[in-house]
Structure 1
Amino acid sequence: MEMPNFVTPARRRGDLGEDAAARYLESQGMRVIERNWRYRQWELDLICRDGDTLVFVEVKTRASGSMSTPADGLGRAKRARLVKAAARYLSAKGLWDEPCRFDLAAVVDTGASLDVEHTENAFDVTGMRL
């Protein structure tokens, strides 16, 4: 017997947050080239082009009034996973010579709207292991 395809409220909020982040980034002149790219256990939410720069965007969505901010979800372990995923992406696509950066799209669900705050160069990869 197949299990019903049930989407949790948190997953639904995350999907809506990614949609809002993609629209916002595109309105700022970026081009979304991949969404939810996966390699094994690693995932990249949005991969964009900002001019000639390849941008790996982590999207964090929280409900308004949440005890944590979207940026709280970008801890050391999460940053390390993002760097590993990006390395796999660069290898798979042969893009190691491309300028890259890691951004954060923090989305707050107010109930009436999805407010996006974009942080360029959300963290420094100097010294991180690929």
Structure 2
Amino acid sequence: MSPNRRNLGASGEDIAANHLCKNGYNVLKRNFRNRSGEIDIIARDGDVLTFIEVKTRRSEKHGSPAAAVTYRKQQQISKVALYYLALHNLFDHDARFDVVSILLRKNQVPDIEIIKNAFELIS
């Protein structure tokens, strides 16, 4: 991954974390990794544990940011989420997968959308 893309992703994750907090989420962990992959943000929205993928783009030339959360990416996030649930013995808690879509157009306020229940667990 190029440094520009890595910086864009990191900026998007910072923006998303702040936006989630302003919308009542409690961020628990950022960039949780294991062998299967990474979850950008793990947070609580009320009593619900949320596994959040952040997608940031400078334009919609190649589609919306949320459209980049492919089936394969959903599988990867699901595997990491199951590991996190097992690691912390949280299988009895409600959980869901959200996506935060961010458009960072030059000289404009970021366009941020929280998509709750963006996809189901894929095992």
Which TM-score tier does this pair reach, normalised by the shorter chain? over 0.9
Question: Structure 2: which amino acid aligns with 1:109?
Answer: L
Match of 2:77 among 69, 73, 82: 82
Match of 1:58 among 35, 45, 53: 53
Is the CA contact 2:99–2:118 (under 8 Å) kept in the aligned structure 1? yes
1:43-91 deviations in Å (ceiling 9; x for gaps): 0000000111100000001112432211121111111111101000001
Alpha carbon RMSD of aligned pairs, Å? 1.2
Match of 1:11 among 3, 6, 16: 6
Q: Which range moves more in the overlay, 45-54 or 68-77?
A: 68-77
Structure with larger Rg = 1
- Residue aligning to 1:27: 22
Q: CA deviation at 1:105?
A: 0.1
Q: CA deviation at 1:29?
A: 0.5
Structure 1 gaps of 5+ residues are 1-6
What is the TM-score when the length of structure 1 is the normalising length?
0.88
Aligned residues: 121
Q: Is 1:46 matched with 2:41?
A: yes
Structure 2 gaps of 5+ residues are none
**Cα distance in 1, alignment partners of residues 72 and 36 from structure 2:** 13
| Secondary structure of 2:13 counterpart | helix
Is the CA contact 2:36–2:79 (under 8 Å) kept in the aligned structure 1? no
- Residue aligning to 1:119: 115
| Secondary structure of 2:119 counterpart | coil
Q: Is 1:37 matched with 2:32?
A: yes
| Secondary structure of 2:118 counterpart | coil
- Residue aligning to 2:98: 103
**Cα distance in 2, alignment partners of residues 116 and 96 from structure 1:** 30
| Secondary structure of 1:88 counterpart | helix
